[in-house]
Amino acid sequence: MFGGQGIRVGRILGIPIRLDLSFFFVFALLVFLIATQVLPDSLDGLGGAERWLYGVVAGIIYFVSLLIHELAHSLMAKRYGMEVSSITLFFFGGVSLIREDSQRPGQEFWIAVVGPLASLILGAGFILVAYFALPSDSTVQRLVFALGVLNGFLAAFNMLPGFPLDGGRVMRSLIWRVTGSRHRATRASARLGQLLGAIMIIYGIGGLLTDAAIFSSGFSPIWVALIGFLLITQAAQGVKAAELERDLARLRVGELMLKPPIARMAEASLPVHILAPSRAQLDQQDVFIVSEGGTAVGITSAVQILLLEEERYLNDTLRDIMLEAGEVQPLEPDSGADEALRRLQKERTFVLPVVERGRLLGVVGLEQILKALGQGPSPRLDPSSGA
Ligand SMILES: [Zn+2]
């Protein structure tokens, strides 16, 4: 399927692998460069078709190396108990979609650093094989050497210290460790990413406009500028995400949660179709606190009722569909909204119970968090507004 998420090509270690459309463009370019630039005419008396075949094989091996880089990130994340939704290969690299953010700087550090490390080891391996195991000046040696250089370049480029590159994430983990604040670390490393992107754009434009020696690195100036532009865009998103995270962390679950009478109380034995005789008329923002003999025992929401299969809608009681307070790790009133958001994502639920000393107080969902964010952090909570 074509779309924002790319074409799904398979699954490795339970992780779906996708190819973005831009991947095919870069793949074709890589094959072209290998066939026309890396392999000279005089070599082994290569014919035209053979060159292209070598190009395709080397291109595939390069993208397998890229996949190994991403798998390294993903497997480390899995080791920390995080769920990896997918790996997408695109443009000049890949992206591992990890469902949660790191909880500790150490996790962030290791997840970020293993990717470039994998590329570095692959690169060194290819170069060693090219030098010691292959006949010198042969086609295969040239290709394996080129693959070594590409992997080495991949490792070096990704370790540049600007978010969202791996090196920027390593930087973020270090700043996080020192300052103890994740959003500050994200903001600082994303600013470095923007600076790095700006330098690359200036460098690229300089290379296009002048012959000055400092601009002749051997890299195509257009590519340098383009990658710089992408970096700036993504780093800007990183800055925004950091600000969002800061705002979220300042909101308390206790202030956002819905509690009675806004959250309606309903008896556990009540059939769902009696509570909501017409699903079309349900207010999507409604949440319900389910009680048993006057004690709140669980929660459910209009969204959950809307998503029920017809049969369950007709036959189930609230007890059957409710999320029991003890079923998930509940939130506490003074947990931050960032924590609530993480937990909602992790539990893949629309609402979470808020519990204090074993007593179900209320319920909080995405709806309440977004609403509170829309109003912006209150002045009382934001002493440094405008910063
Ligand atoms: Zn990486």
- The single residue listed with the structure tokens 């296009």 is 208
Rounded distance from Cα 23 to ligand 1 centre (Å): 16
pLDDT tens sequence across 192-236: 999 999 999 998 888 888 777 666 666 678 888 888 888 888 888
Tell me, in angstroms, the distance from the centre of ligand 1 to residue 94's CA.
Answer: 7
Q: pLDDT of 96-139, one tens digit each?
A: 777 667 778 899 999 999 999 999 999 999 999 999 988 877 78
Residues 65-74: what's their mean pLDDT?
A: 92
pLDDT the model gives residue 328: 78
Compute the distance from residue 111 Cα to the ligand 1 centre, in Å: 9
Distance 246 CA to ligand 1 centre (A): 25
Cα 306 to ligand 1 centre (Å): 40
Distance 342 CA to ligand 1 centre (A): 23
Mean pLDDT of 165-177: 92
Q: How far is the CA of 60 from the centre of ligand 1 (A)?
A: 18
Domain limits, the chain: 7-250, 253-377
CATH code of 253-377, in short, is 3.10.580.10
3-state secondary structure of 353: strand
The reported pLDDT for the residue numbered 216 is 63
The single-letter DSSP state of residue 37 is I
CB 174 within 8 A of CB 109: yes
> What does the pLDDT average to over 352-381?
73
Going by C-alpha positions, the residue among 21, 34, 97 that lies closest to residue 60 is 34
- CA–centroid distance, 73 to ligand 1, in Å, is 7
Task: Name the percent of the chain lying above pLDDT 90.
Answer: 20
Choose the weakest-confidence range: 74-78, 242-246, 334-338: 242-246
Q: Tens of pLDDT along 292-301?
A: 887 888 888 8
Burial (CB count <10 Å: 0-12, 13-18, 19+), residue 257: buried
pLDDT, one tens digit per residue, over 94-107 is 777 776 677 788 99
Average pLDDT estimate for 10-17? 87
Contacts of 53 by beta carbon, 8 Å cutoff, 6+ apart: none
CA 294 to centroid of ligand 1, rounded, Å: 53
193's enclosing H/E stretch is helix 182-209
The pTM score is 0.70
Using the mean position of ligand 1's atoms as its centre, give its distance from the Cα of residue 117 in Å. Answer: 9
Say what the pLDDT of residue 41 is.
62
The first and second tokens of residue 170, run together, are 């390593």
Q: What is the pLDDT of residue 2?
A: 39
Question: Residue 385: what pLDDT?
Answer: 29
Ligand 1 centre distance from Cα of residue 280 (Å): 46
